Amino acid sequence: MKKTSPQPLSKGEGQYIVPNCRPDTYRDATSAHWCISILAHQQFVLRTLYIVLAFSACRRPPTVPSQPLIDKGSHPMYISCEGNYGWGNGSVSVYNPQTKQVTEDLFFQANGYKAGDVVQSITAFNNKLYLTVNNSGKVMVLDPATFKVLATISGLRSPRYFLGVNAGKAYVSDLYANAVSVVDLNTNTIAKTISLSGWTEGMTLWQGKVYVCNERTDYVYIIDPASDKLTDSVLAAYGSQSLVVDKNNCLWVACVGDTLLGKTGMLVLLQPGTQPKPFSFTVGIGNYSHPHHLALNPAGDILYFLNKDIYYMNTQRQAPFNPMPWFSGIGRNFYSLGVHPHSGDIFVSDAKDYVSKGRVLCISSSKSSISEFSVGITPGGFWGQ
């Protein structure tokens, strides 16, 4: 699922205007109206898919391989693809930077069944992969070599992102639960929840605390991982979505804002200290300032993010900061962004119409090499090894 402006309704009150056009995909009012306009097209596609599924229901499932599907030495980039909301066709594609080959729907190949409904994100921790499946309310634990399911963390309401806190514990943010779930990694069960009002999103460890984004407030929450309690919050800007820590141990937060509420999106800088003071500034050209999906280069000194186009900024410079457009998004629907931790290549997804298969661009940091390939429907997350 992915990402601003109309206030969320309950699922029974028209929360999802059209399949795969959810409130968290709206970065501005224009996008919201555009989503409504594709209703007729999506209904036609869904009817067609019903017919196709009816004729394919008796097909024999694939043989599940026992040998490793992934060459970890190639430093693959995983792409989580949400699929169509309600269809259970979320998937994972993997890109091999050495051969430049793409394997689509890797989860299905490895396990013989689909990953679930709205594959939100994928994360590596403790030599395992954690696949968060939003509308299926689960996080699946995967073997990174074979991609087979080792365990399933169930009982979540609408999970978004997974953060490993220590060897035995992780946090999972959530769209509807008004809480962050605490997961016991020894039993792969929910040990407890930490009450946090609103839609919790990206998380990171910084200065011994866990900082949690919230797309429906002006605050970033602070959790003490030793006690699993909310201890403080920082006034940032409306709609915090993602956050990263640069080479100087400074925390950067992308806040998307909300056009309909008159909330301007901003980048927020928190410098290390006992009581970090936020420094906020708008980005973009004209009045469009809705930064999201922060990512750092391997050195930790260049910040990339989406704001229709791909923007970049040197984090080592002093204020005033001046983020600049780096790669144009004209003619595309840029949806998510990631940077490969080894090569520094920038990966950006084009969600197209949220119904057909998406595309991913792989761009070298010098822009001397640009490749493009097809992936699953609505590619929304990246994780590089």
Cα(296)–Cα(126) distance, rounded to whole angstroms?
22
Strand ranges across the sheet with 229-235 = 200-206, 209-214, 219-224, 229-235
User: Measuring CA to CA, which residue among 212, 223, 205, 294 is closest to residue 254?
Assistant: 294
What residues contact 367, with CB distance under 8 A and at least 6 apart?
327
Residue where the block lists tokens 């090894």:
385
State phi, psi for 55 to the nearest 5 degrees: -85, -20
Overall average pLDDT of the 27-48 stretch = 44
Kindly list the structural domains of the chain, giving each domain's residue range(s) and its CATH number in brackets, ordered by start.
Answer: 68-384 (2.130.10.10)
Task: Express each pLDDT in 371-384 by its tens digit.
Answer: 999 999 999 999 99
CB 305 within 8 A of CB 289: no
pLDDT tens, position by position, 178-203: 999 999 999 999 999 999 999 999 99
Nearest-angstrom CA–CA distance, 71 and 264:
43
User: What mean pLDDT comes out for the span 218-240?
Assistant: 97
Reported as a single tens digit per residue, the pLDDT across 103-162 is 999 999 999 999 999 999 999 999 999 999 999 999 999 999 999 999 999 999 999 999
Strand 138-142: give its sheet, edge to edge: 119-125, 128-133, 138-142, 149-153
Closest Cα to residue 244, out of 222, 267, 228, 227?
Answer: 267
What gap in Å lies between CA 129 and CA 126, rounded to an integer?
Answer: 8
Beta bridge partners of residue 362, listed in sequence order: 347, 371
Nearest Cα to Cα of residue 252 among 223, 230, 220: 220
> Rounded to whole angstroms, how far apart are CA atoms 27 and 236?
18
Q: What is the pLDDT of residues 310-363, one digit of tens each?
A: 999 999 877 778 899 999 999 999 999 999 999 999 999 999 999 999 999 999
User: What pTM, to 2 d.p., does this model score?
Assistant: 0.84
